Structure 1
C-alpha cells in the first residue's frame, strides 16, 4: 500500500473518532507523546491539525468536573505507520459508543484495502 493511501486511511479514522467524541458531549485534547498539543477542543479541524506530528497521539475525552475544571474521562490511542485501518490501537471501554463510527470506518477500510 502506498504511504499516501495509508495516511488517508489513518486520517479518515481519526476524524471519525474526533467527531464521535464531540457528538458524545466531550471536548478533545490531543497528547502527542510529549505534550498536550491541543487543549479541550470541540473543533474537528483543530483536532486534526494537532494530530500526526509524531508517531502516535492520544485523544483525551474531556468533560468539566463540578468545579468547572476539565477532567479526563477516557482516551483513544493512535499509532501511525502500520496498515492504516489499525491506527486506533487502544481506547478506554467507556468510550465504545462514541468510537463506534471510527471502528466501523476502520472495518470498512480494512475490507476495501486489506
Structure 2
C-alpha cells in the first residue's frame, strides 16, 4: 500500500507491505537539499518477527523505483548506530549504497545509491 502526501516543499510517500509487517518512507524534492540530493528514504521498519524474510528488500526496492519513476537519479539515506545495528549498514553497502559522509567514530553515515 502507498499513501502519497503533498507537502509545501516536497512529496512524501508512505509505503507499507500488504500485510502491515513493514514500512518505509520516501521524500521527493524538486530542489537539491542540504543532504546533497532530491530524494531521501527513511524510517525503514520491519516487524521483528518477520525480519530476514525479504520485507526490507521489497520495501526499499519499491521506494527506489518510485524515486526513479519520479525523475530522480539517486536516493539518499541516513544510518545511525544508536538506532540500527552495524550489520544493516553493511547490508546497505552490499546492495549498492555508497558512503557520502560519515563520523570518524563509526556512529553515523550518509548513504547514496545511484538509480539506474
TM-score by length of structure 2 reads 0.33
Bigger helix fraction: 1
Identify the structure with bigger relative contact order (alpha carbons < 8 Å, sequence gap 6+).
Answer: 1
TM-score by length of structure 1 reads 0.33
